[in-house]
Amino acid sequence: MTEYLISAHTARLTVSPSSSQFFKGDSLTLSCEEDDSSAGWILKRNLTEGQGGECGHGWGRWSVSSCNISYILPWHSGVYWCESREGPISNMVNLTVTGGSVILQSPVLPVMEGDDVTLLCKTKTTPSNLPAAFYKDGSLIRKQPTGHMTIQHVSRSDEGLYKCDISGHQ
């Protein structure tokens, strides 16, 4: 009897702070987390504008298995992933950087059915507990006095494009 051991090196891309939307001027760290450090993971991106490629080559500062962007700009918006010399890639994360004054913070990682998800409507210059209106696919779904909304036990019917608005902020 012949036995084969098959090993697939896979990484998970994490974003800190955990959000998919950022303000211009924020800083963030993207990390390639995996069990076998011998895979030699690198962080790559495909941008809506500007320069793609690897972290440390014209954008970001690479250190061990993380990429730090100390002052993000709207042109940093795009899809990011980890890739190894052997070819496998991690999950992909789409990040948006805005020069505006309001963002909707939501979890970066895929949300599983049954999970609770909290959305936070955040302004750049004032406390994040201001009253906010939340929209799904362009329709108002809820007004919250504290700027955050929790969707309990998410299901497929909760899929959609969410946005928020804080009165007096564009």
Whether the Cβ atoms of residue 117 and residue 111 lie closer than 8 Å to each other: yes
Instruction: Answer with the residue of higher pLDDT: 63 or 7.
Output: 63
For domain 12-98, the question of CATH label 2.60.40.10 is answered with yes
Tokens of 165: 């608005």
Residue type, 14: T
Q: What residues contact residue 93 under an 8 Å CB cut-off, 6+ apart?
A: 13, 15, 20, 30, 79, 80, 81, 108
Which superfamily does CATH assign the domain made up of 102-165 to? Immunoglobulins (2.60.40.10)
- pLDDT of 13 > 70? The answer is yes
The pLDDT of residue 85 is above 80: no
Tens digit of each residue's pLDDT (9 = 90 or more) over 59-81: 899 988 899 999 999 989 999 99
Tell me the domain boundaries of the chain.
12-98, 102-165
Give the mean pLDDT of the chain: 84
Query: What CA–CA distance (Å, rounded) separates 93 from 45?
Result: 9
Task: Tell me the three state secondary structure of residue 20.
Answer: coil
- 33 pLDDT band, cuts 50/70/90, is confident
For 99-133, the pLDDT digits (tens) are 988 999 988 867 789 999 999 999 988 777 889 99
